[in-house]
């Protein structure tokens, strides 16, 4: 009898299965509670809770263990003398075979329904009451599935260490499932497998590709390639970003029988989802219509991202107008060289590192005047375009100390406002990494939440302003751009990254993720600090009600004073909520009502 082999990602086949852990399960039919576990069993409610013992004590992974009908108990000698010396093993995960259960979007917990952010699942109604009575995660662990239907009208839910079931016709409708017996049966069924999976490179949404899987028969029985008992290799989508429709992967058939110890490599055809997202797949074997994960055979979950090109964004860096006293020109230079062109593509100059071009507006003639390092002066109309040399970054003297920026710049005249502007064009993710709304040292999940909120705001405003034909999408700050758009996010460019790169990491981790309401991105405004509650959009700014921007209680800011407009996410509360253990999506769902999380690139 062979133990279950660990499923691996793309790092080669799993190692040889572990040795037998139970010499003769049948011999344990009259087992009694081992003295090592007696006090723990009594403390948690006796055999009515853990079930009857079904094995004698044995060694499992170097620990003393005993299997009961409902739980697998282990002794952790390193915790001797504490309440954690005896602990339930992750039997629910073992019996589920590492099967992926669809995760759900965060929501605000209520008395009868609770969202568990650590596993991105919920516990509801009767199951929640039962779970609470059993000490929440102390015995059963956290939920690893939602409620799932099973045969005979049973509703079940898997937890890390156990399983609950509900059937209305039973005398006791909610019960702990005897998955210890299920696990014991799997140890003798002769079925086991190990996986090696080649990573899928990022694909365009809707593209056709394949998942290459090598499966090793680490069980006792030969896998048949043909006939009623033929073993096939398939895959299921395993992610929390499932679109409403998607094409399920086809099965791949074995070319020949696979004996114990042998392996086969197959390509499973994959049709990528039509929308972008960080999708995942779980390969799995199937025989007689039953997946091997249902037989407690572990299967890996692998990334299969669908991506669009990161969009650009146009940022107004500097306003040269009467509204910005003392600013009469733009002085542009670079860290490694730049090229200046007019709107028609004609090269006006090429400058080395630190050489400056000074650009001024000629209001009377609506011209641009360019003073070059060699003392020459050029006149041009239309936009002046400035591109850095490879691996170079542009600098703008008038915005010091920020002044260093990724991407390109342009100098453009706005006749309606009798002003000229310096506009920075760069990728949206580079822009987000240059925002100074949050400190780089805040908890990681607060940075993730902030990155999603920053992106949602920028993407929504970008869409609106491009539809209106605006010169740029967002302004960098009120200090340097007073004429237009004074409520945008504060952007310091590359200088922000010099204070730390964790925000850039969070931007990368949440790539393309935005908040939507009924399919549209929201105008995700945020502010510094609440005073025990947030405000609704209508309450502060009037206009139609925005269902995602309603007032909510904020326990993380009680006793404090309001700092900002009060709508949406209070950044300091996000930091406190993350420090208390919440994840980024849970934080956002607490302050933006009814939102979904989707990916736009």
**All structural domains of the chain with their residue ranges:** 25-89, 113-186, 193-303, 312-599
Q: How many CB atoms lie within 10 A of CB 179?
A: 27
In percent, how much of the chain has pLDDT > 70? 94
Mean pLDDT score across all residues of the chain: 91
Give the pair of three-digit tokens for residue 280: 């995942």
Distances in whole angstroms, Cα of residue 287 to Cα of each of 216, 251, 284, 294, 314: 15, 11, 10, 11, 55
pLDDT at 123 over 90: yes
| pLDDT tens-place string over residues 168-220 | 999 999 999 999 999 999 888 899 999 999 999 999 999 999 999 999 999 99
Lowest mean pLDDT among 33-37, 180-184, 243-247, 451-455: 243-247
Query: Mean of the pLDDT values across residues 491-512?
Result: 96
| pLDDT tens-place string over residues 224-233 | 999 999 999 9
E strands, 280-334, where? 280-287, 290-291, 302-303, 312-320, 329-334
Closest by Cα among 137, 140, 43 to 82: 43
434 Cβ contact list (under 8 Å, min separation 6): 405, 406, 491, 492, 493, 494, 495, 496, 497
Between 186 and 492, name the one with better pLDDT: 492
Pairwise CA distance, residues 322 & 539, whole Å: 35
pLDDT at 340 over 50: yes
| pLDDT tens-place string over residues 93-110 | 999 998 999 888 888 888
pLDDT of amino acid 3: 31
| pLDDT tens-place string over residues 259-318 | 999 999 999 999 999 999 999 999 999 999 999 998 999 999 999 999 999 999 999 999
Q: How many CB atoms lie within 10 A of CB 513?
A: 24
pLDDT of amino acid 13: 29
Q: How many CB atoms lie within 10 A of CB 40?
A: 17
165 Cβ contact list (under 8 Å, min separation 6): 150, 154, 155, 156, 157, 174, 175, 177
The pTM of the full predicted model, rounded to 2 decimals, is 0.85
Whether the Cβ atoms of residue 434 and residue 493 lie closer than 8 Å to each other: yes
pLDDT of amino acid 242: 65
In percent, how much of the chain has pLDDT > 90? 83
Which spans in 411-536 are helix H?
A: 428-432, 444-467, 494-498, 502-509
Pairing verdict, β 148-150 and 121-124: unpaired
Q: Span 193-303: which CATH code?
A: 2.60.40.10
Sign of CA dihedral 27, 30, 36, 41: positive
Model confidence at 483, pLDDT cuts 50, 70, 90, reads low
| pLDDT tens-place string over residues 227-254 | 999 999 999 999 877 667 789 999 999 9
pLDDT of amino acid 30: 83
pLDDT at 486 over 90: no
Pairwise CA distance, residues 280 & 333, whole Å: 45
Between 134 and 19, name the one with better pLDDT: 134
E strands, 159-207, where? 163-166, 174-176, 193-197
306 Cβ contact list (under 8 Å, min separation 6): 202, 203, 204, 205, 206, 207, 272, 273, 275, 276, 277, 279
pLDDT at 10 over 70: no
Query: Is 174 buried (19+), middle (13-18) or exposed (0-12) by CB count in 10 A?
Result: middle
Query: Mean of the pLDDT values across residues 371-385?
Result: 95
């Amino acid at each position: 009898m062979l133990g279950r082999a660990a499923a691996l990602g793309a790092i080669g086949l799993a190692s040889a299965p572990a040795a037998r852990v139970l010499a003769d399960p049948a011999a344990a039919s009259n087992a009694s509670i081992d003295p090592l576990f007696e006090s723990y069993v009594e403390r948690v409610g006796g055999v009515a809770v853990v079930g009857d013992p079904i094995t004698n004590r044995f060694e499992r992974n170097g620990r003393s263990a005993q299997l009961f009908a409902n739980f697998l108990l282990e002794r952790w000698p390193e915790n001797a003398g504490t309440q954690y010396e005896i602990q339930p093993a992750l039997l629910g995960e073992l019996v589920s075979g590492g099967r992926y259960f669809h995760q759900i979007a965060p929501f605000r917990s209520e008395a009868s329904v609770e969202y568990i952010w650590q596993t991105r699942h919920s516990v509801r109604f009767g199951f929640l009451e039962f779970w609470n009575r059993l000490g929440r995660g102390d015995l059963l662990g956290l939920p690893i599935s939602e409620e799932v239907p099973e045969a005979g009208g049973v509703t079940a839910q898997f937890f890390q260490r156990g399983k609950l079931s509900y059937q209305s016709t039973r005398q006791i409708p909610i019960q702990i499932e005897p998955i210890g017996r299920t696990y014991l049966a799997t140890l003798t069924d002769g079925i086991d497998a190990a996986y090696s999976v080649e990573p899928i490179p990022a694909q365009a949404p809707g593209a056709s590709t394949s998942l290459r899987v090598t499966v090793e028969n680490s069980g006792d029985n030969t896998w048949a390639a043909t006939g009623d008992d033929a073993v096939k290799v398939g895959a299921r989508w395993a992610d929390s970003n499932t679109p409403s429709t998607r094409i399920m992967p086809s099965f791949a058939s074995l070319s020949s029988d696979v004996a114990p110890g042998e392996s086969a490599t197959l390509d499973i055809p994959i049709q990528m989802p039509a929308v972008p997202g960080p999708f995942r797949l779980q390969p799995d074997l199937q025989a007689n219509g039953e997946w091997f994960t249902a037989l407690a055979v572990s299967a890996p979950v692998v990334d299969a991202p669908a991506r669009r090109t990161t969009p650009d964004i146009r940022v107004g860096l500097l306003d040269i107008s009467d509204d910005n006293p003392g600013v009469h020109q733009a002085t542009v230079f670079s860290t490694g060289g730049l090229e200046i062109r007019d709107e028609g593509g004609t090269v006006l100059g090429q400058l080395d590192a630190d050489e400056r071009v000074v650009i001024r507006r000629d209001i009377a003639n609506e011209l641009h005047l360019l003073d070059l390092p060699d003392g020459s002066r050029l006149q041009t109309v239309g936009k002046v375009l400035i591109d850095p040399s490879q691996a170079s970054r542009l600098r703008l003297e008038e915005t010091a100390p920020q002044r260093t920026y990724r991407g390109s710049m342009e100098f453009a005249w706005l006749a309606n406002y009798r002003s000229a502007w310096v506009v920075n064009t760069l990728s949206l993710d580079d822009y987000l990494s240059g925002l100074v709304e949050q400190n780089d040292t805040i908890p990681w999940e607060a940075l993730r939440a902030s990155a999603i909120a920053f992106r949602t705001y920028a993407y929504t405003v970008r869409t609106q302003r491009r539809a209106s034909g605006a010169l740029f999408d967002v302004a960098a700050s009120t200090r340097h751009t007073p004429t237009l758009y004074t409520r945008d996010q504060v952007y310091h460019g590359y200088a922000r990254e010099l204070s730390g790169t964790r925000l850039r990491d969070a931007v990368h981790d949440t790539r393309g993720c935005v908040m939507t309401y009924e399919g549209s991105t929201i105008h995700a405004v945020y502010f510094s600090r609440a005073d025990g509650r947030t405000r609704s959009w209508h309450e502060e700014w009037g206009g139609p009600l925005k269902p995602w921007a309603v007032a909510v209680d904020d326990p993380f800011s009680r006793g404090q004073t309001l700092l900002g407009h009060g709508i949406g996410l209070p950044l300091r509360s996000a930091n406190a909520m993350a420090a208390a253990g919440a994840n980024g999506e849970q934080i956002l769902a607490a302050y933006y009502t009814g939102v979904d999380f989707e990916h736009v690139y």
